[in-house]
Structure 1
Amino acid sequence: MNQIMKDFFGSSSIPKNPDTERVIEFLTQPESVNQMIAMSKVGLPALTGVVKELEDLFGDCEEFPLNHDAADANAPNRRNIGWMVRFVMRAYGYTPISKGFPDANDSIERTRIGKFSGSKYFGTAAVYAKTISNPDYTIVVTSV
């Protein structure tokens, strides 16, 4: 378990189980973080970069399904994905963009996840911007 995962479960009320561990592990992989940052840099929701693979891997998992098959359509699980993405992105210096006006219910800018992403279960997600100049982690891209 990497440090971001440990910090997440140490501060989150999201239940820790094998499926939530696998989801946060996927979201903290450097490749996933790099894709989320790339989407953020072009003004798209961070989740856009990983949503297809996320759904393919975890859409029907037993303890944290993302599909719409439950009575509540598993909406709490998809909302929790948003909290996970927020936690991971913050570790790399990115925070959700504000709508520009305070709203007690929802001051975070969300936009539709493009059809090109291939998402079946997510409709909207937060847009992020780099706001922390000295983040806990950085991504280094190399080519060999």
Structure 2
Amino acid sequence: MECYFNASQVKDDKTMVDTTVLYLCESAALWWQRKHSDIEKGLYTIDTWEEFKRQIKRQFCPHNAEDIAMKKLRGLKHTGSIRDYIVEFTSLMLELPDMQEKDKLFYFMEGLQSWAYNELKRRNVKDIDEAIAVAEDLMEF
């Protein structure tokens, strides 16, 4: 939603919340109906986009999401295609926004199959973006 708001240059908190709730479904839609009912009763307020994000994350993201992501990252291995490995690694990085760049590179490299690891070492990759770009070039192998 934030990509959409940026592209559409939407900056108003109320518009952002009102637009987002249109896309909620299943348990998220039920959650919003309950929250909205409480708001209408004056029991509660969600006045900003940041507050909305905080509330929805509190409801649907496990409190230990970073720990779970770190455990998955430590066990992540390149066993199938490089593409699948890159997608899984990148999705885990979204759960670990505070991870240092050198640590990202370390975990990415450590999970690769030896032939891919050796090729990235041979090319002397210096950061995670370069490592992912080089790994994507290896997809043909």
Shared fold (TM-score, shorter chain, > 0.5): no
Which structure has the larger Rg? 2
Greater relative contact order (CA < 8 Å, ≥ 6 in sequence): 1
**Structure with more of its chain in helix, by fraction:** 2
TM-score, normalised to structure 1, is 0.28
TM-score, normalised to structure 2, is 0.29
